[in-house]
Amino acid sequence: MQNPPELITEFIKQWQNGSKIVLGVQKQNNENKLLTLFKSAYYNFMAAICGHIPYMTDFGLFDKSFINILRQIPDPYPYLRGIICDYGFGIKKVYYSKNKRKKGVGMALYTLYDFAMLGITSCTKVIVRAAVWLGLVSAAAGLFRLLVFGVGIYPFVLMLFGVLLFFIGFVGEYVVQINRRLQNHPRVIEDRRINYGN
């Protein structure tokens, strides 16, 4: 009961006003300060690279039209928050404060890590692209140092590091493309048809 059930009435009201997705967004929480710091960093990172809504939760109301979109996606490990931001037409945010947990335990650190990695690998290729560009820059810096200062161990190590990092990132690009194809998300979402048959 950390998410206040009295918000359900507000969710239904916003849905009746035309919002197909009504999301609960945390204003503050009463968790451990260190955990809150890590979560804030993750939320802000995902907002910057994927356009996610910071501090959004899975607590909310979803119209049947959006549920039908979820049913079209055969992904065995769907990242709901990413799908909401990709296809969530008509999102309404409802801000709330999460109640303090009275019983039980929160998610384990490994589960939080797993969730974070699912989000990053499902929604962005920024990290893979960063590896490619960092590899190119490192290799170029090593080559420049070799040409300017002559033979030495440092330029060769830097060039080798750059080449390896570049190819790791390049292989990562292939993995990202395979991942995207396996997720098999719809290319476009049809909200409604106007003067276009049935």
Q: What average pLDDT does the segment 86-112 reach?
A: 77
Query: So what's the pLDDT on residue 34?
Result: 80
In whole angstroms, what is the distance from residue 153 CA to residue 69 CA?
A: 56
pLDDT in tens, 29-62: 666 778 778 888 888 888 888 888 888 878 899 9
Instruction: Express each pLDDT in 145-182 by its tens digit.
Output: 888 877 777 888 888 889 999 999 889 888 888 877 77
pLDDT in the model for residue 28: 66
Question: How confident is the model over 92-105, as a mean pLDDT?
Answer: 79
Phi and psi at residue 26, to the nearest 5°: -75, 135
Provide the 10 A C-beta neighbour count for residue 126: 13
Average pLDDT over the chain, rounded to whole? 83
Mean pLDDT value across residues 110-139: 86
Q: How high is the pLDDT of residue 197?
A: 64
pLDDT of residue 9: 92
Per-residue pLDDT band for 14 (boundaries 50, 70, 90) equals very high
Q: Is the dihedral of CA 168, 173, 178, 179 positive or negative?
A: positive
In contact, 116 and 42? CB cutoff 8 Å = yes
Residue 185 φ then ψ, to 5°: -70, 150
Q: pTM above 0.85? A: no
Quick check: 198 pLDDT over 60?
Answer: no
pLDDT at residue 119, rounded to an integer:
85
| pLDDT for residue 88 | 64
- 41 CB contacts (<8 Å, ≥6 apart)? none
